Chain A
Amino acid sequence: MNILLLLIPLSLLFLAGAVWVFFWAVNHDQFDDLETPALLPLDDLDRRDRPPE
Chain B
Amino acid sequence: MSASSSCWHCGETLTGGVLIHARVAGVARSMCCQGCRAAAEWIEQLGLADYYALRTAPAQRPATESDHAAHDAWGGADNARHVIRDLGNGRRESLLLVDGVRCTACVWLIERSLGTVPGVLSVQVNAVAQRARVTWRESEVTLPRILQALSRTGYRALPLDARGLDDLRRRESRDALKRLLVAGFGTMQAMMYATAIYLGAAETLDTSTRELLRWLGLMVATPVVLYSARPFFAGAWRSLAARRVGMDVPVALAIAAVYAASLIEAVRGTGEVYFDSVSMFVFFLLAGRYLEMRARHRARDLTDALARLTPPFADRQRGDRIQRVGIHELQVGDVVRVAEGGIVPADGVLLTERCRVDEALLTGESAPQSKRRDDPLIAGSVLEDGPVLVRVERVGADTALAGIAALVGRAHAERPRLQIAGELAAARFVARVLVLTALTAAAWGVIDPARAFSAAVAVLVISCPCAFALAVPAALTRALGALARRGVLVVKPDAIQALAECTHVLFDKTGTLTEASLSLADVQTFVSNTDALRLAATLARQSRHPVARAIAAADPGIPDAAVTDVATHAGLGVSATIDGRALRLGRGDFALGGKPLAREYDDAVLLADDDGPIAAFRVNERLRADAGATIDALRAQGVTALISSGDAYLKVAAVAARLNVGTWRARALPADKLAWVAELRAAGARVLAVGDGVNDAPVLAGADVSIALAEGAELTQASSDIVLTGGRLDAIAAARDIARQTLAIVRQNQRWALIYNLSAVPLAALGFVPPWLAALGMSLSSLGVILNALRIGRGDEMPRGARQVQTPATSPRTAVA
Contacts and interface: CB of A to CB of B under 8 A. Distances in A.
B189 interface: yes
Interface string A5-36: 00010011001001100110011010111011
A33 B121 contact: no
B806 interface: no
A39 B124 contact: no
Contact of B111 (A8, A19, A35, A51): A51
A20 B125 CA distance: 26
A30 to B, nearest CB: 10
Interface in B289-322: none
Given A18-B185, A26-B174, A32-B170, A52 B128 contact: no
Interface in B91-121: 103-105, 107-108, 111-112, 114-116, 120-121
B50 interface: yes
Interface string B50-77: 1000100000000000000000000000
A53 B122 contact: yes
A8 B220 CA distance: 12
Interface in B176-203: 177-178, 181-182, 185, 189
Contacts, number: 78
A12 B23 CA distance: 62
Given A15-B189, A23-B178, A36 B115 contact: no
B457 to A, nearest CB: 26
Nearest to B133: A29
A4 B123 CA distance: 48
B34 interface: no
Given A39-B104, A42-B104, A52-B121, A33 B181 contact: no
B300 to A, nearest CB: 14
B209 interface: yes
Interface of B is mostly: helix
A41 to B, nearest CB: 9
A22 B181 CA distance: 8
A4 B108 CA distance: 51
A32 B174 CA distance: 8
B127 interface: yes
Contacts of A26: 174, 177-178
B126 interface: yes
Contacts of B50: 43, 45
Given A1-B209, A45-B50, A36 B216 contact: no
Given A50-B115, A51-B112, A51-B116, A33 B178 contact: no
Given A51-B115, A51-B120, A36 B126 contact: yes
Interface of A: 1, 4, 8, 11-12, 15, 18-19, 22-23, 26-27, 29, 31-33, 35-36, 39-40, 42-43, 45, 49-53
27 contacts: A4-B209, A15-B189, A15-B220, A18-B185, A19-B181, A22-B178, A23-B178, A26-B174, A26-B177, A32-B126, A32-B173, A35-B126, A35-B128, A36-B104, A36-B126, A36-B127, A39-B104, A40-B104, A40-B107, A43-B54, A43-B104, A45-B50, A50-B111, A51-B112, A51-B115, A51-B120, A51-B123
Nearest first, the 7 closest Cβ-Cβ pairs linking A and B are: A51-B115, A39-B104, A33-B126, A35-B128, A36-B127, A43-B54, A26-B174
